[in-house]
Amino acid sequence: RLEAKKGPVGRECEGNALVPQYFREITLTPEAAKRVGKPTEVLAHNGWVMGWAATRDFAEPCWECVYLKRHLMAWGDCVKLRFGQQPEDSPFIWEWMTRYAVSMAKIFHAIRLDNAHSTPLHVSQYILARVRQANPHCWIFAELFTGDHHVDLLYEKTLGINALVREAAQTGHPRELSGHLTHLGGHAQGRPGPVPAVERMVPAPRTDRKHPLRQVGSFASLTAQYVPLRPRRCFSLLYDCTHDNRTPHEQRTAADALPTAALVAASVCSIGSTRGFDELVPHHLSVVSERRTYCTPRIPNLTAIAEPELTAGETPRVMTVRWPHGGKKVLARGSWDSWQKDVVLRPEAGGDFVSNVSLPEGTEFPVQYKFIVDDTWKFDHTQARAMDGSGNTNNIFCKPVGSLAPATVAPTRVGSPEVTPGILRVKQLLNQIHEKLGNENYIELTVDHLADDVIVVQRHHPDDHKGVVFVVRTAFWTDKNDSPELPVLTISGRITQLHVAATLSVNEEQKARYTEDKSKITGFKGDLLLQETLAAYATHAEGDGATTLAFHHLPQATVLVFATEPGPSAQKAHEGLYEVYKQLDAAVAEVTLVDAQYLLYSCEEEEKDVSKGARGAYAVPGHGPMVYAGLTGPVALLDEARAAPEWQDNNIVKHLRDGGWLLAYQADRLSDRPSLQPIQDWLRAAHGHISKLPRGAAPWHTDTILSCLYSAVCRHVLMHMGPYVASHGSPLVKGLALATLQFFGAVPSGVLNWERAKKEGFDRQPSLCAGLPHFSTGYMRNWGRDTFIALRGCLLLTGRFQEARDTILAYAAVVRHGLVPNLLDSSNNPRYNARDATWFFMQCIQDYCTMAPEGTGILSAPVRLRFPVAGWQEKGVDLPKVACLADVMQVILQAHAAGISFREWNAGKQIDEHMRDPGFNIIAGVNGEGFVYGGNTLNCGTWMDKMGSSDKAANRGLPATPRDGADVEIVGLAKSTVRWLSTLKEYPYDGVRLRADKSMSFGSWSKLLEVSFERWFWIPEDGKAEHCDLKMVNKAGIYKDVVGCAQPWCDYQHRPNCFIAMAVAPELFTPSRAVVALENGEDLLGPLGMSTLDPSDLAYRGDYHNDDDGHDKHTAQGWNYHQGPEWVWPLGYYLRARFQFTCPPGAGPEDQHHAVATVMRVLRQHRQHLWRDPWRSLPELTNSHGAYCGHSCPAQAWSVGCLLDAVHTVQTAVDPKSPLASPAGGRSQGLRAANGGDHHDARAPNGGGGPAGKAAAPAAQFAPP
């Protein structure tokens, strides 16, 4: 305003005031003046406030004082209305505005809400409700600029807005404008389909529907049980320039009207314009004060422009070959004579070397040629060029693309009286192209930049793969360079039709000559140049699958629009993909479960091991290595990309556009598994076809290939994982069952038995690893404890009985000192420092006998000990000779009954660099109460086995949780074992011999445990207990974690271990006490796991960081591994126990469903994690409150197996007659009452011997979510 020399404030300077008026004084009618007692009234102008929340009324009393502080950008043509909160607050205004809006709805098909955010939301809602009563089909457009996408969404949902008004002219940069095109409509070509990979079905050819269910380019529809809806923006009405904003001349340049109009026409949304834009009117026209009329232009018949036919044009007989880069001797050789003879180029005055070459009849275009400059072969990088079939780059000479009707393309002076003014001549054609693209379903959109001011928009048809390309050089700013250096533009297919080739220029002289007409509205007189061919701007070359355009002249404000269709090779590739998909089921038909582990998973370490270091997991630029080398690696990234709003910036999408290396990798890696050759051939065939299709569509096609293969393999393996998994369609069970595959695979460095692997091959010795990636290879792969905690869920429930049998017998062969090894190390150098692994092993044998078709037959399976008993048995202890598995079990039981005491083999730094010397001394036995006990203060023989390693914090060699004494879970596992054996006729032994030449039957041992357990382990709420030191109690109503620990307070710590005992030996627990303990166990529950220590404990440290190099003893080097972090696998036992005690036999349907709902509510986040985490698994542990732990395995076998076991327990208990009740297809032996049913028969049934067959309870329908 200062530059325009505006005047002072006041009515006399209206329109020229230095600052806008905020208030307006109006003269009242006599009636109104009489009513209010004064002749005039002052009203406040409406407007907008920078940064103001759209949902707040800036005129309401508030501390911001908008009018007083002059924060308002006032609109001088309207006033602010005070509506109040309801019609009664201002009846006249509500009624008047409603009547006006309803009258408009009765006349017009649509209503535009100008500055919709300036009207209170509740008022708009009220008025639009009346509008829709009058005209239910009225379309509501809204100009909405709240500055906040969430607030926009609030308005859209509250008011039912059909489309938002958007404006191309209100963008500050060409890239911002191109971003508008991307977001305002259309489906981006190449976007991965919306259906998650695991739900994908084989695509089917389109029949009678247009682009059914899919959102990106392909010949095929996406077939799935459901199609997720993607979040999308509200529909848009895109204007080139609206009535109340500045013109292109005022904001950018006058010539930018043409490129803006072209880009708007290229959009996939409704479009609009304002009169005066096409005529190049330089100044904003006020809809309030403008009184002049428009000139009525003579509009010619533009049918020839709207539907131009491509003419072949004359075939050139002579071509000019030019070398502009100097030299002494320049020759040329080309395809015009099959590269036979040299053509000599003569120098011209300007320094160029030139020659005209005659083209014989039948010359194939494009003609390829090359220069020989001073005896060196060269090509000219400034001229059109292409790569031949051998990979050589040559220059090319192209036949003209075609021409438009000559009468329509003559250069014209814009604004001349004899022609259509402004850009109307081209604008009509652009509008017709826009309409045609919409009507014929060119719904896919790709937007790219050749330069900051050069935008390429491609509209693509998803079924016939034809396209229309807009190449637009904008004129946001003045740039006199008409020949910018631009990269070659590659277009898929070939150009079939030229629609528009036009350049608009409005020079300074033309702008200076412009004068406003006082009676007519006129615009600038410029030059609109229409060209017949693309040759004026670029040279083009057509290959088999693509066309290249090399621009040599592209002035500002140039628009090129042409049509394309796929080349012959692309059409054949689409047909070939039909056949590829038909062969998918046959390709996966013979995939075994072990093959599936390699095909779907194989982490980085496993892949390097299998390939002998030749490769790891595939690395995506900008992302790094995928978590798996197998299909799940890319599928997880594609699932993430398909749900991302900014999917086009996703690293894997960009990578797939750049090339087809990922598919080639997936196929090539299968060479290591000959059994997977059918899938390798299938992938290579698919890759061959996709490589011939446009790269822009490659992400979609690659996603479809990989996702369909992934889904087909998943369906195939699920159907081969036993009746329980095969018949259960819930995402939770499917996710858990598939996750079990991750852990059971074959790697050369981590076999079960090294000697057998050398003879039979490593691929014949698969094993169950503990977790990925840290425990995937070498001696760290196979842990006895982890294996047998996970085995029931990972192998037995998934019907993999042979694998379970092999695993049990492999560990049985290396039993030593009556213990199963903790670390197996391929049976070469096993380490025996775990007291609990043996009892989980015994539990798995029981589970196998109950669940597998073989039943107790495994007990007679031959076993040859790698370390014969004679080499390690204690003096005075008579152990049985080992010939079969039952003998191994008896050796274990007898060794514990007699007492185990030995020093670890090879004790010292070579096997444990942190442990202090006494820690290598291993003891275990059975005390007078029947409890299995063991350990000392310097070793950690249970799963809570963190050994300190920090010198700085002085915890090296000190176990954080020694748990020496009788551990509650080991007592429960031992009880489950002796109870089972006491009634098992097939077991050849009836008890054990004690040291004092006494014997104890398994039945007696079982009864002794039942009598002793709660006397020693229960911590009552009333404080009255025989073996309870109240001074040590932190929490009552729980069971002790240990009995007899050297540090007495450790006995009383609240940990989740008692729930393991509850699940496998429920007869040890009084139901009412168990329920109290389970309720208190909720204090340990986290989002995914259970805290390993009650948060109220002084030793609680909930966040584990193994790299903590601090001075705090409690956390240094991760010493708090089991002092609070939330482990997942104990949750499985907790849920099993909770269900058994809260839904006992005889519970009614209501109690059953309540118990089921409780369990499934806890597992809700696990289901989400399984399908969202790139590992498609469950982690080892989390930090406090479910926070991510970077030092945890992201995929852990026992986490997956124990939770699958929990879901199975719930399913089979609620419906014991279901075919899902037994993994072996109905073999479940039911439940035996403890000791033949003579004790605790009213308590919860045996939970350790497989499915809980509760025959008395009425069956309820249930399918876990």
Q: Which residues are catalytic?
A: 114, 117, 244
Identify the bridge partners of residue 966 per DSSP, sorted by sequence position: 1043
For the CA atoms of 1052, 1057, 1058, 1064, the dihedral, rounded to the nearest 10 degrees, stands at -160
Question: Per the structure block, which two tokens stand in for 132?
Answer: 């829709």
3-state secondary structure of 466: coil
d(C-alpha 643, C-alpha 191), whole Å: 10
* Interatomic CA distance for residues 764 and 759, integer angstroms: 10
Provide the token pair at 120.
């209170």
Buried b (16+ CB within 10 A) or exposed e, 926-938: beebbbbbbbbbb
Tokens describing residue 443: 């719904």
Q: Do residues 498 and 534 lie in contact, with contact meaning Cβ atoms separated by under 8 Å? A: yes
The torsion angle over the Cα atoms of residues 1093, 1096, 1099 and 1101, rounded to 10 degrees, is: 70
CB 799 within 8 A of CB 1219: no
The string of DSSP letters for 522-552 reads -----EEEE-SSGGGTEEEEE-SSEEEEEES
Q: Which residue matches tokens 């059918």?
A: 678
Number of Cβ within 10 Å of residue 723's Cβ equals 17
Residues 6+ apart with CB under 8 A from 499: 305, 308, 429, 433, 468, 561, 562, 563
Is 282 in a helix, a strand, or coil? coil
Specify the 3-state DSSP secondary structure of 646.
coil
Task: Give dist(CA 849, CA 1249) in Å, integer.
Answer: 8
Question: Is the Cβ–Cβ distance between 175 and 452 less than 8 Å?
Answer: yes
Q: What is the DSSP string of 613-644?
A: TS--S-EETTTEE-SBSSTHHHHHHHHHHHT-
Kindly report whether the peptide bond that precedes residue 421 is cis, defined as omega within 30 degrees of 0. Answer: no
H helix runs in 983-1086, sequence order: 1002-1017, 1058-1064, 1071-1080
The values of phi and psi at residue 868, to 5°, are -55, 150
DSSP secondary structure letters along 331-385? EEEEGGGTT-S-EEPEE-TTS-EEEEEE--TT--SSEEEEEEETTEEE--TTS-E
Beta bridge partners of 562: 469, 498
The single-letter code of the amino acid at 374 is D
**How many Cα neighbours within 13 Å face the side chain of 1205?**
35
Angle of helix 784-791 versus helix 1197-1214 axis, rounded to 10: 30
Least Cα distance to 834 among 979, 748, 942, 730 occurs for 942
Neighbours of 86 (CB within 10 A): 12
∠ CA 599-602-606, rounded to 5°: 135
Q: Which amino acid is at 875?
A: K
CA distances from 1232 to 889, 979, 1032, 1209, 1213 (A): 21, 10, 38, 16, 15
Return the closest-CA partner of residue 897 out of 968, 1023, 991.
991
